[in-house]
Structure 1
Amino acid sequence: MTFAKQIVSKWKRRLKAFVIRVKAALFYRNRSLSNHPTNGDETHYQGKIASFSKALPHDSLGEVNVDAYEQYIHILECGEPKDYENLPLAGKRKMVDPQAAYAFEMVGPDSHQLTTPPPAPLASAEMAAEMVEVYWQALTRDIPFDDYDTHPLTIEAAKELSSLEDFRGPKTRDQVTPQTLFRGHLPGTLEGPYVSQFLWKDVPYVATQITQRYRTTTPGIDYLTTYEDWLAIQNGGLPCDPEYDSIPRYIRNGRDLGEYVHHDITVEDGVTACLILLSYGDAAWDKTNPYLDSTTQIGFPTFGAPHVLDFVTKAARPGLEAAWFQKWLVHRRLRPEEVGGRVHNQLLGYADYPLHQDLLCSEAVQRTFDEYGTYLLPQAYPEGSPTHPAYPAGHATFIGAMVTMLKAFFDESFVIPDPVLASSDGRSLVRYEGPDLTVGGELNKLAANIAIGRDAAGVHYRSDGINGLKLGEQVAIGILRDYKETYHEKFNGFSLTTFDGDTIII
């Protein structure tokens, strides 16, 4: 090739790279401006009783100082970095990264262009049902998932949830059953064991295998069940240290799952699942992979292991940024422990809140009082929830984004080989005997486990997770779409099944 042709070739390459970037930028610039409806609670209640206020100063009822709340909102909405040092905190706990709500990304949609439906209002039957569910999850933390069919408490939980006016979890013939209890309703999540195979099976890691037995906390020990402890934590007090089980366990109950999602930061869940899937070889790759039929090439930087590992990890942080925008600048939904304080003070006659009778008259709430002497929601973590608003759940958005990436690269119909089941004591795995478990179903189950595991700990509601998963899915789809034009291979697009069960091609 002559020198002149080399120059032309380089300029063509540079121009093509420029055009790809500009087309992606124009796609997002030309989208309609997004509306972000809220449930109206923040403006409706002058005392801000239905809004997240943890770590700000509160009175003896746990109601936020309104002047401090207004100062906090002013800082959030103005968005001046220097002003965040003036957040009116009451104690030593700090707010978790509110400025992430303003971050930009260089690939995929801007977080401010993505939307979520508003969460249920405080006074609604849906909110009551979500709270009743998390009370039951607290009461049943130590019951092995495998015993749900026979344990009196889980049978009672299913019965009460079935009776509620607006419970939106999965049902069988319009009834919550022990088999559907505390599960997700994504495709495949009701098949087989409660826990995804991706949280049980050994993980191939470099030149070794990682056994998925994890540290968990001591059975029967819950937190923030005394009013003094609860109020101190609302005012930003520092927690005590948790008590740990001396034996690492396979995840076998709500307490174990809640403790697992206490320590995963972001990408671990997606990377673990990806490494397991890669160990299954070519048969597990999605049929759209352009190298499956090649007799001379295999994928590596593109359509190989580095590609999918990169994309799984690439999606997690933008998923969190999308959640943080919704949390801090749109919804500011209060955490379940804050609602538990409202329930406690109302039932003891200290205050009058617009809480639905399904919650105030709940068997789960009464059982909680009988066991702990308060109506507060028992927490699995000494610190209770993190110091950022509830909706949508951050864990749900990052796992939703990562699972969507995995579904784009792997064959969702591939049957998981040699499936396993944790023993009731969590010390061993046994062979699972039952209907086939597929990659798509077990990835959806992984997403549900990570999202609902936070509910089991008492720090989120069901809708935080469900809508967080869908928000993360939007992020991943946007990233996949932007990269679609960057490949040299003949490639017809990524195919995957959404959390709503629709098959799409990107």
Structure 2
Amino acid sequence: MNERQVTNTNSNLGKCCETGPLTPLQRREEAFEIRENAAQFQKDLPLPNHPCNGDENLYANKIGNFSKTLPHNGLGEVDINAYNIFIKALTTGNPDIFEAIPLGGVMKLANPQASYAYDLIGPDSHHLTTMIPPTFSSAWRASEMAEDYWSALTRDVPFINYNTNYLTIAAASDLSKFSDFRGPKEDGVVTTQTLFRGNLPGDLIGPYISQFFYKDVPFGNKTIVQRYDSPMAGDDFMVSYDEWLNIQNGGLPNNSITFDCLPRYIRNGRDLGQWVHVDFTYQGMLTACLILLSFGDKALDPRNPYLNSRTQVGFITFGAAQILDFVAKAARIALEAAWYQKFLVQRVLRPEAFGGCVENNLTGATRYPINPELFNSKALPKVFSKYGTYLLPMAYPEGCPTHPAYPAGHATIAGAGATMLKAFFNESFIIPDPVVASADGLSLLPYSGAALTIGGELNKLASNISIGRDLAGVHWRSDSSEGLKLGESVAIQILQDYKNTYNEHFSGFTLTKFDGTTIII
């Protein structure tokens, strides 16, 4: 057989093997149209406003804004020339100017140029918005700072003992007195049942920690028992002024975390804070997804087109491969949305920096316009009595990350991941054999109480992940609550882009939003 005959034979074989309702040309046009329609949908959405709290223009010394890693004076006030170069880099987007930003130490800014990144699915990061964050001088900000002080003071109190411990009882009573505290309440007051919890449906039901932090995780041919490295009690950092100032300037910490010899289930704020210290981006939602998949078909969303199929099961579509992919896919796009707000819109200071302002005010070095409600908090004298300063005791030696506070990246990822999982699983499915960690975190105890559902426990997991960063001292409550909403918006629009990509008879994704409303995509 000559070369020409071989070529013709191969060509004929290729034509004989073609199967499907569309020719290659038709398929190409259909694929283009789907992508074009998704892009047009995003383009046609109204352009949002991007309001900020105005602190950057209000205070010449930039006390209301993030400036960690830049050089600071002895009061912790940023060098204005360095800050202006930082703003010039953000305004122009010029990579060369970013390289010219003066640093005060060895720590570097965390990826500010991610603020300009584009993506090819879901919403553009610049086309999502958040509400205006608290101002530096507001009663709202004062209440959030008091909550962070109390979080530090109660890090070692087991969640299971919140109802009886004198510190958590005092924290709930104190936070109830703030005029603009926006955490959950019962009958108008903060209680030990609502303390440090989120405002999402399901957050106040059952144990503080979500079942998705306690259940064993099927991981291929291995089962992961969710006991984690636990820092020693009382292991707090940045409570001396020199260390605090060193960290603001981008210096390396002088200390490190000391760990207990035994791994433990997450049983208190310190354990949870450490989990969100070293987790990878979508770790919590990945483990939740693996646990949910182990529950079988009965835990899938009733709209899944394969639940009633006689001949097929889902896999690449409406099965494990797609769900796992979407949880991961949403994480980075959610971070892009958060980074845009963090660097190009808000630039909100971190709680550790605010703690320095409190310290300087109370020692007479400054007269910053901190809302007086904070100085009436019973947390402040307790912090001073224990540490000798009014600085915020941090769970991490290095303090907060080197990017602005608002909104929280962890919260945005958690909001996106929880929303994806609610779209694929049955939110009303009751989680079997619920448990709660013992006070020492060495065992799991049976939980008997109100039923815990997939929807409620996914919401709780998202709140645990976001508020866990607050408990460590690196975020404000508003960073967490608004980050969750931002992540939810990202996930919904990703699902919107994909809704017309399936061959199956599919009536749409159904999920309950964080505000309690049900939507169909």
TM-score by length of 2: 0.96
1:287 corresponds to which letter in structure 2?
Answer: P
Where 1:27 maps in the other structure, the secondary structure is helix
Deviates most, 238-247 or 257-266 = 238-247
Contact between 2:85 and 2:97, CA under 8 Å: does it hold in 1?
A: no
1:340-489 matches, within 5 Å, as: 340-489=355-504
1:159-174 matches, within 5 Å, as: 159-174=173-188
2:388 corresponds to which letter in structure 1?
Answer: G
CA displacement, residues 400-435 of structure 1 (integer Å, 9 cap, x when unaligned)? 101100000000000000111111000011111111
Are residue 269 (structure 1) and residue 269 (structure 2) matched?
Answer: no
The match for 1:237 among 245, 251, 257 is: 251
2:304 corresponds to which letter in structure 1?
Answer: N
State the 1:3 CA deviation. 6.0
Structure 1 Cα separation of the partners of residues 219 and 22 of structure 2: 45
Residue in structure 2 matched with residue 221 of structure 1 by the alignment: 235
Deviates most, 386-395 or 3-12 = 3-12
State the 1:254 CA deviation. 0.2
Structure 1 Cα separation of the partners of residues 324 and 308 of structure 2: 22
State the 1:265 CA deviation. 1.8
Structure 2 Cα separation of the partners of residues 168 and 76 of structure 1: 32
Where 1:277 maps in the other structure, the secondary structure is helix
Are residue 296 (structure 1) and residue 291 (structure 2) matched?
Answer: no
Structure 1 Cα separation of the partners of residues 46 and 318 of structure 2: 33
State the 1:216 CA deviation. 1.6
Contact between 2:412 and 2:484, CA under 8 Å: does it hold in 1?
A: yes
1:123-134 matches, within 5 Å, as: 123-134=137-148
Deviates most, 417-426 or 74-83 = 74-83
Structure 1 Cα separation of the partners of residues 381 and 131 of structure 2: 32
Structure 2 Cα separation of the partners of residues 131 and 8 of structure 1: 61
CA displacement, residues 93-130 of structure 1 (integer Å, 9 cap, x when unaligned)? 01000011001110000000000011100000000000
State the 1:244 CA deviation. 1.3
Deviates most, 72-81 or 456-465 = 72-81
1:207 corresponds to which letter in structure 2?
Answer: N
Are residue 142 (structure 1) and residue 156 (structure 2) matched?
Answer: yes
Structure 2 Cα separation of the partners of residues 50 and 304 of structure 1: 47
CA displacement, residues 122-170 of structure 1 (integer Å, 9 cap, x when unaligned)? 0000000000000000000000001000001100000011111100000
RMSD: 1.4
Structure 2 Cα separation of the partners of residues 431 and 231 of structure 1: 46
Structure 1 Cα separation of the partners of residues 199 and 430 of structure 2: 20
Structure 2 Cα separation of the partners of residues 404 and 455 of structure 1: 21
Residue in structure 2 matched with residue 258 of structure 1 by the alignment: 273
Residue in structure 1 matched with residue 221 of structure 2 by the alignment: 207
Structure 2 Cα separation of the partners of residues 449 and 258 of structure 1: 10
State the 1:325 CA deviation. 0.4
CA displacement, residues 247-266 of structure 1 (integer Å, 9 cap, x when unaligned)? 11100000000000001121
1:29-178 matches, within 5 Å, as: 29-178=43-192
1:301 corresponds to which letter in structure 2?
Answer: I
State the 1:8 CA deviation. 7.0
Structure 2 Cα separation of the partners of residues 305 and 148 of structure 1: 38
2:348 corresponds to which letter in structure 1?
Answer: R
1:18 corresponds to which letter in structure 2?
Answer: F
2:467 corresponds to which letter in structure 1?
Answer: I
Report which of the two structures shows the higher radius of gyration computed on alpha carbons. 2
Structure 2 Cα separation of the partners of residues 347 and 84 of structure 1: 36
Residue in structure 2 matched with residue 495 of structure 1 by the alignment: 510
Structure 2 Cα separation of the partners of residues 24 and 302 of structure 1: 19
Structure 2 Cα separation of the partners of residues 29 and 452 of structure 1: 34
1:222 corresponds to which letter in structure 2?
Answer: D
CA displacement, residues 341-367 of structure 1 (integer Å, 9 cap, x when unaligned)? 000000111000010011122111111
Where 1:29 maps in the other structure, the secondary structure is helix
Are residue 192 (structure 1) and residue 203 (structure 2) matched?
Answer: no
TM-score by length of 1: 0.98
> After TM superposition, where is structure 1 displaced by more than 2 Å over at least 4 residues in a row?
1-8, 30-34
Deviates most, 362-371 or 4-13 = 4-13
Where 2:298 maps in the other structure, the secondary structure is helix
Residue in structure 2 matched with residue 329 of structure 1 by the alignment: 344
The match for 1:247 among 259, 262, 272 is: 262
Structure 2 Cα separation of the partners of residues 159 and 215 of structure 1: 32
CA displacement, residues 14-57 of structure 1 (integer Å, 9 cap, x when unaligned)? 11100000011111222232210000000111110100001111
Contact between 2:184 and 2:194, CA under 8 Å: does it hold in 1?
A: yes
